Amino acid sequence: MSTVNPQCRVHQCYNCSNDTEYYCESCSYNLCPSCKENHVYDLNTVDHQILTYLRKVNCYSIVETCVRHHDALYERYCQLCKLPICCHCTEHRKHDLQDVRIAYEAMMHQVRKVVDIIRSETLINRCIRLNKMKDRIKEWHTNSPFAHLDMLKRASKLNNKIDRALIKFDYKHSCSRQIVLMNKHLARLENYEHTYDWSATTPVQVLLSIKKTKCHRLYLERHNNQMFLTELIRKEDAINCLNKIKKTDRGKRYEEKFLKLMSFTKLHRSFSLSEVNCYHISLVTSDLVWVSDNYDLFLSNTSTGKMLYCIDDLNSELFPRYGFHTVNSEGNLMYINMNFNINKLSTDLKTKTKFIETTSSTLKPICVYCSPLTGDLLVVYTGIYPFTIIESNVTRYNEIGELIQVIQYDNRGQSLFTLPCYITENNNGDVVVSDDGAIVVTTHEGRYRFTYKGHPSETRLWPQGICTDALSHILMCDKNTNSVQMLDRDGQFLTNLLIRPSGIFSPVSLCYDAITHRLLVGSSVDYKVCIYRYITREIGFFERNLSSDQSFLTYSQSEK
């Protein structure tokens, strides 16, 4: 009797014939390692959840028993000791305890943020820096003999200049010493003269005339005294020698050459809010945002629109409320509270602290923005009385709340701002302010750059929400035309990115997601936030770099 061996089925990648090692929860695809790399690199699927296939097939829930009490399961998590505990671990009862499943979800959320940063920045920068390193190593092997000779030549020139300076210093030092000795000798002669011959005045006069003449060249010898060489070496010669040493620039956060504009703007997805019109958006992660209207500020999920947390200490006098909240690089919410102070809410939504206290009776903060480049907090202050606008300025604070800059006037002494409502910062450090009828841009140092007052074909500009993208474009909502306009970094109009966009009749707020390179647009009338894609990235970038890594390692080993 013949037996037939049972065949086992090997799962293959949905895109190629390679074996499956990963699984995408978002689109239900089996992925091999190379397709998984492209899947997380593609901007259309960069925020998908990727799991190992072993984790997908393990349908049984994993339960763990306590290390100290083997007959009990982990039920709680001690936030003070950072340990899971069971019901018999009584020494943790007075500590802050949390359900182990909730603690696990919170920890997974933090890990997700780190993974998103690695996908969007670390992996890309790694490939870019590796390519630059290969070119520099090859260039070094080619040019190092010539560079060595050139360096020796320049070092010889610099040594000659230093030697001449030392000689000059020794000459002055020797002359000074001779003058001191001569003065002592003259004093002795005068003493002898007054002692032995009161009438002989001529020799002293002769010696005094010799004292006023120039010293002859004396024998020079090197001294170990302290010498101020920086005053003796010619500054221009030293600078010219040192400036010829090449220095490399630090890497940028975004590499523009791998990103490009799409030929059209694509609606990625949208979510509805709970009867809240979106006047401002602050991004926490790709799936969590802070959204506000004229009355409320709450944390929302971008997939469902569900309200997760609501701020209860807002200022009723701050109306309308535009850009009055922001999120710093650590994920903490910064917002203007009921006392016109700027508060900071921790990522766990439990701790509120006063970050900036407003002490002025005339100037009040109306909008804030935290720079992802420097960590500084930009605050717009405005003094408003009934039917009168006193003044407005942009104040910069560092990460610990110290005032470091105030931007208010242009180079002619005139006020830059009238009634700002939103503020942001570009990749080159420019401060971009959405003002009354114009977009005002200054440099990081506060120097006036330009003012954009609308396209020539438009009668009037009504700017509201603004943001900048990875390509340094300035994006702005125009209330007058219900459109989203795109400018370059120098204020030149490029295109209408969105004109009465589908799903949103009146766009009023913008937020750019630097992780997924998507644009969040909030509406002022229909309780919606739409997410658009208009930037794409080169496909197959990782495949080329992964294949070149092996050749680079082979090349490096051969050089050794």
Q: In the prediction, which pLDDT does 107 show?
A: 77
Residue 357 lies in a domain: yes
* CA distances in angstroms from 261 to 50, 256, 257, 429, listed in the order given: 27, 11, 11, 22
Same-domain pairing of 106 and 164: no
Q: Provide the token pair at 514.
A: 């630097």
Cα 177 to the chain's mean position, in Å? 59
Q: Provide the token pair at 337.
A: 């509270």
Residue 188 lies in a domain: no
Q: What percent of the chain has pLDDT over 70?
A: 74
**Residues 204, 153: Cα–Cα separation, whole Å:** 54
Same-domain pairing of 76 and 216: no
Q: Which of 109-123, 140-154, 166-180, 519-533 has the highest mean pLDDT?
A: 519-533
pLDDT at 307 over 50: yes
Number of domains observed in the structure of the chain: 3
Q: Provide the token pair at 79.
A: 């936030």
**Residue that is written with structure tokens 């009504």 in the block:** 462
Q: What is the distance between the terminal CA atoms of the chain, rounded to a whole angstrom?
A: 63
Cα 147 to the chain's mean position, in Å? 35
Q: Are 273 and 291 in contact (CB under 8 A)?
A: yes
The predicted model gives 69-93 an average pLDDT of: 84
Check which CATH number belongs to the domain holding 344 and give it: 2.120.10.30
Same-domain pairing of 121 and 142: no
pLDDT tens-digit readout, 6-46: 555 667 888 888 888 888 888 888 888 888 878 877 777 87
Same-domain pairing of 145 and 68: no
pLDDT tens-digit readout, 277-297: 889 999 998 888 999 887 889
Q: In the prediction, which pLDDT does 204 show?
A: 46
The predicted model gives 377-405 an average pLDDT of: 83
Same-domain pairing of 28 and 167: no
**Residue that is written with structure tokens 């300076």 in the block:** 165
Same-domain pairing of 36 and 157: no
Same-domain pairing of 316 and 432: yes
Q: In the prediction, which pLDDT does 544 show?
A: 53
Residue 249 lies in a domain: no
Same-domain pairing of 56 and 104: yes
Residue 317 lies in a domain: yes
**Residues 440, 431: Cα–Cα separation, whole Å:** 8
Same-domain pairing of 214 and 274: no
Same-domain pairing of 322 and 419: yes
Residue 53 lies in a domain: yes
Q: How confident is the model at residue 81 (pLDDT cuts 50, 70, 90)?
A: confident
Q: In the prediction, which pLDDT does 223 show?
A: 38
Residue 5 lies in a domain: no
**Residues 282, 451: Cα–Cα separation, whole Å:** 25
What amino acid occupies position 113? K
Q: How confident is the model at residue 174 (pLDDT cuts 50, 70, 90)?
A: low
Same-domain pairing of 361 and 505: yes
- What's phi and psi for 216, nearest 5 deg? -75, 165
Range list of β-strands (E), 149-279: 259-272
pLDDT at 121 over 70: no
Q: Are 6 and 503 in contact (CB under 8 A)?
A: no
Residue 421 lies in a domain: yes
Q: In the prediction, which pLDDT does 221 show?
A: 37
Q: In the prediction, which pLDDT does 371 show?
A: 92
- Of residues 321 and 169, which shows the higher confidence score? 321
Residues 6+ apart with CB under 8 A from 342: 334, 335, 336, 354, 355, 356, 358, 365, 368, 377, 379
Same-domain pairing of 402 and 518: yes
Q: Which of 147-156, 423-432, 532-541 has the highest mean pLDDT?
A: 423-432
Residue 478 lies in a domain: yes
User: pLDDT averaged over the chain?
Assistant: 77
By mean pLDDT, which of 53-57, 62-66, 192-196, 534-538 is the weakest? 192-196
Is residue 556 classed as helix, strand or coil in its secondary structure? Answer: helix
Range of the domain at 466: 269-532
Q: Are 59 and 85 in contact (CB under 8 A)?
A: no
Q: How confident is the model at residue 269 (pLDDT cuts 50, 70, 90)?
A: confident
